[in-house]
Amino acid sequence: MVNALRLSKRQRQQELSRQWADNPFITDEDMANKFNVSVQTIRLDRMELGIPELRERIKSMAEQAYGQVRSLPPDEVIGDIIDLELDRYGISLFEVGAEHVFSRNNIARGHYLFAQANSLAIALIDEELALTAKSTVRFLKPVVLGDKCIAKAKVASHGEERSEVEVETRVGEDRVLHGQFDIYHGPLERVSNR
């Protein structure tokens, strides 16, 4: 925790700006706890700094990232892609809602977590056609209703027709999924001429 008693308003705002730049998913509540100030103080600081609220930050990042994706239409991506550099890395955010969990225990169904990781891996590929040829996925911890899953993907190797993509999903500091995806890719006419 940052010792807020030692920070002036200007120092606190500088530190807030730095932390939001490092992790745009930090909530006002998390920042208030970290700086030992009220949520209202954080909101006022954020407004003075011109930093939008969490939903707006995510929406803005998602709009920029979706414009780059060639391999999938935006409505086929599970979660919100919020950062993307084609053929290199990407980040997506998926919030677990009531429709994603088992009703008796509020634990997320695994296929949603897989779909988030898989669609992010495909979206990374800068081709019209990208398909999962093979995947190895390990579920490391249960995910529950309300969790915010942040998946980070990176292209481990990139070939002429295949790429290896590694994906790690976290909820807070906890790793909840690790996956390796072998992605087949190329121009769309490869399959449309068959």
Tens digits of residue pLDDT in 163-180? 999 999 999 889 999 999
Tens digits of residue pLDDT in 69-126? 777 877 788 998 888 889 999 999 999 999 999 999 999 999 999 999 999 999 999 9
pTM score of the predicted model:
0.70
Hey, what domains does the chain have and what are their CATH numbers? 4-51 (1.10.10.10), 57-192 (3.10.129.10)
pLDDT higher than threshold 60 for residue 1? no
SS3 assignment for the chain: CCCHHHCCHHHHHHHHHHHHHHCCCCCHHHHHHHHCCCHHHHHHHHHHHCCCCHHHHHHHHHHHHHCCCCCCCHHHCCCEEEEEECCCEEEEEEECCHHHECCCCCEECHHHHHHHHHHHHHHCCCCCEEEEEEEEEEECCCCECCCEEEEEEEEEEECCCEEEEEEEEEECCEEEEEEEEEEEEECCHHHHCC
Give pLDDT, residue 191.
57
Tens digits of residue pLDDT in 13-65? 898 888 887 777 788 888 888 888 988 998 888 888 888 787 777 666 666 65
- What share of the chain in percent tops pLDDT 70? 88
